Amino acid sequence: MPSLRAAALTDIGRVRRQNEDRFLHDAAVRLFGVADGVGGLPGGAEAAQHAIDIVDNYIRGLTNGQQPDLTAIVLQANSSVAELGQKLSPAMGIGTTLTFGHIRDGSLHIAHVGDSRCYGWRRGEFRRLTEDHSVENEARMRRARGEVVYYHEANRNALTRCIGQPTPPDVDLIPRALAAEDRYLFCTDGVTRMIPDSELATMISQPGEPEPVLREIIALAVRRGGPDNATGVLVYVDSP
pLDDT digits (tens, 9 = 90+) for 42-55: 899 999 999 999 99
Instruction: Tell me the chain's radius of gyration from C-alpha atoms.
Output: 17
The model's pTM is 0.94
pLDDT of 115: 97
pLDDT of 148: 57
Q: How many residues in total does the chain contain? A: 240
pLDDT of 214: 98
pLDDT of 151: 59
According to the 3-state scheme, what is the secondary structure of 128-188? ECCCCCEHHHHHHHHHHCCCCCCCCHHHCCCECCCECCCCCCCCEEEEEECCCCCEEEEEC
Residue segments in the chain with a per-residue pLDDT below the cut of 70: 40, 137-139, 141-144, 146-155
On whether the CB atoms of residues 192 and 227 are closer than 8 A, the answer is no
**Residue 139 burial (10 A CB sphere; 0-12, 13-18, 19+):** middle
pLDDT of 216: 98
Cα distance from N-terminal residue to C-terminal residue, the chain: 7
pLDDT of 50: 98
Distance between CA 64 and CA 45 in Å, rounded? 32
Of the candidates 164, 20, 185, 197, which has an alpha carbon nearest to the alpha carbon of residue 87?
164
pLDDT of 24: 98
Read off φ and ψ for residue 238, nearest 5 degrees.
Answer: -80, -40
Residue type, 8: A
Distance between CA 230 and CA 219 in Å, rounded? 9
Distance between CA 126 and CA 123 in Å, rounded? 8
pLDDT of 154: 59
pLDDT of 144: 62
pLDDT of 142: 62
pLDDT of 41: 73
Read off φ and ψ for residue 235, nearest 5 degrees.
Answer: -120, 125
DSSP per-residue letters across 23-53? EEEETTTTEEEEEEBPTTSTTHHHHHHHHHH
pLDDT of 139: 57
